[in-house]
Amino acid sequence: MVNVAILGFGTVGSGVAEVLTKNGGLIDQRVDDLVRLKYILDVRDFPNSPYADCFVKDFSVIEQDPEVDIVVETIGGATIALDFTTRALKAGKSVVTSNKELVATHGYDLLQLAREHGVSYLFEASVGGGIPILRPLTSCLAANELTQITGILNGTTNYILTRMIKAGLTFDQALKEAQENGYAEKDPTADVDGHDACRKICILAALAFGQHVYPQQVPTEGIRNVTLEDVAYADSKGYKIKLLGRCLRQPEGKVCAFVAPHLVSDENPLAGVEDVFNAIAVTGNAIGDVMFYGRGAGKLPTASAVVADVIDIAKDRKKDHHNAWGPGAPALVVSPDILSSRWYVRADASMDQARLACGEIQPLARAGAPAGEAAFLTGQMTYPQIRDCLKGMAVSSLFRVLD
């Protein structure tokens, strides 16, 4: 018998309970043992829940029960979740989580702790919701030197952008829908301002390049500055605006990682990723390009990834399941300023002024554009170069083009 305890009975935690119960027969078959939900810990009461008998309020009940093998942490955040995870690992219990904030900020230490105690710390659901990405990265692609990862990593912002463009919703209406669907973080500014995507690119970079990348090392911009005017200009030349998390291997073992809105050509499969879907494009020196696509948030898709980790541990509790990586370092992460790209610019200027400032440009048009507004694509240049070109111009929007 393998006993599981869930911490946090919210969107993901309740999905985990549902999948463990609904698919119990086939899970037992796959594990070749009985996998049972023994406890659920939450601050709230759920008297009418079908799992009412499992609820406890005191974590030490779980911590001190030698029958609990696997703790599923779906509380979120990096405070109480860190305390419970640390205590569970020290008590010899494996921990499975969907909590990317915790993995991105304390993953290295928690992986070390798990190893010291001969247990596992797994977090497939922390990136891409239900998309299998972390295990493929470290097992199916293990033969490659991975060179870069580019992903639509946040379901909420992709949903908001899609609903604003396709259904004409306001930003607030679209965000409300994302919250009602259970996609958004408890504090949705983490989605909107790019911090959630930042945490995910940190985890991907750590797994791909082998050293911990901390969120504070990663320049991050969200979708607040993306307007419907920008969307229309981009569309006129066959581009979509997407919030991308990117990490690129750099010489001497360094890493470049950042999160920002980009113009993505309609010819790139990332441009067609809509609603809550995420997609992660990985480049390796043997495979070339490979892309992972699926639902990036939501109750059951995320629970699917969490329960897969539970099954993996339950199948072989003695196996070393570790996704190990090395410690981080202040000089590890280099600024995206070194990367050259084309740029999308919208500014209060004439096209002649834009040409004078930026050289050869590709003008963009949209219906109803006011006189004195110029939108255009530049040639290849770094951020310091474009910043110098635009000095003295009133710039409303500046985004990279993904080439």
Contact between 193 and ligand HSE by CB under 6 A: the answer reads no
Comparison of 297 and 349: residue with beta carbon closer to ligand NDP: 297
Contact between 12 and ligand NDP by CB under 6 A: the answer reads yes
Cα gap 352→231, rounded to integer Å: 23
Comparison of 80 and 339: residue with beta carbon closer to ligand NDP: 80
Residue-wise DSSP of 143-190: TS-EEEEEEE--HHHHHHHHHHHHH---HHHHHHHHHHTT-S-SSTHH
Please name the residues in contact with 396: beta carbons below 8 A apart, sequence gap of 6 or more. 227, 346, 347, 348
Contact between 204 and ligand HSE by CB under 6 A: the answer reads no
Q: Is 319 a catalytic residue?
A: no
- Quick one: what does residue 286 bind among ligand HSE, ligand NDP, none, with the CB cut-off 5 to 8 Å set by partner type? none
Burial 297-317 (b: 16+ CB within 10 A, else e): bbbbbbbbbbbbbbbbbbeee
Comparison of 13 and 296: residue with beta carbon closer to ligand HSE: 296
Please name the residues in contact with 249: beta carbons below 8 A apart, sequence gap of 6 or more. 145, 146, 147, 148, 208, 209, 255
Cα-based distances in Å from 151 to 25, 248, 380: 35, 12, 22
Q: Please select the residue that binds ligand HSE; options are 105, 150, 154, 304, rule is CB under 6 A.
A: 154
Helices (H), 39-151: 59-63, 80-90, 100-116, 134-138
Q: Please select the residue that binds ligand HSE; options are 42, 191, 193, 312, rule is CB under 6 A.
A: 191
Q: How far is the CB of 197 from ligand HSE (least distance, A)?
A: 8
- Restricting to residues 31-90, which ones interact with ligand NDP according to CB under 6 A? 41-44, 74-76, 80
Q: How far is the CB of 394 from ligand NDP (least distance, A)?
A: 38
- Quick one: what does residue 313 bind among ligand HSE, ligand NDP, none, with the CB cut-off 5 to 8 Å set by partner type? none
Site of tokens 């990405």: 133
User: Cα-flanking dihedrals φ and ψ of residue 249, to 5°?
Assistant: -65, 135
- Quick one: what does residue 334 bind among ligand NDP, ligand HSE, none, with the CB cut-off 5 to 8 Å set by partner type? none
Token digits for 200?
């995910």
User: Cα-flanking dihedrals φ and ψ of residue 400, to 5°?
Assistant: -75, 155
Contact between 215 and ligand NDP by CB under 6 A: the answer reads no
Window of 136-144, 177-185, 366-374, 390-398 that interacts with ligand HSE by CB under 6 A: 177-185
What mask of x and - would describe binding to ligand NDP in positions 125 to 164, judged by CB under 6 A?
Answer: x---x-----------------------------------
Burial 333-342 (b: 16+ CB within 10 A, else e): bbebeebebb
Site of tokens 């309609």: 266
Could you list the active site residues? Answer: 200
Residues that bind ligand NDP (CB under 6 A): 7-13, 41-44, 74-76, 80, 98-101, 125, 129, 182-183, 185-186, 297-298, 302
Residues that bind ligand HSE (CB under 6 A): 129, 154-156, 183-185, 191, 196, 296-297
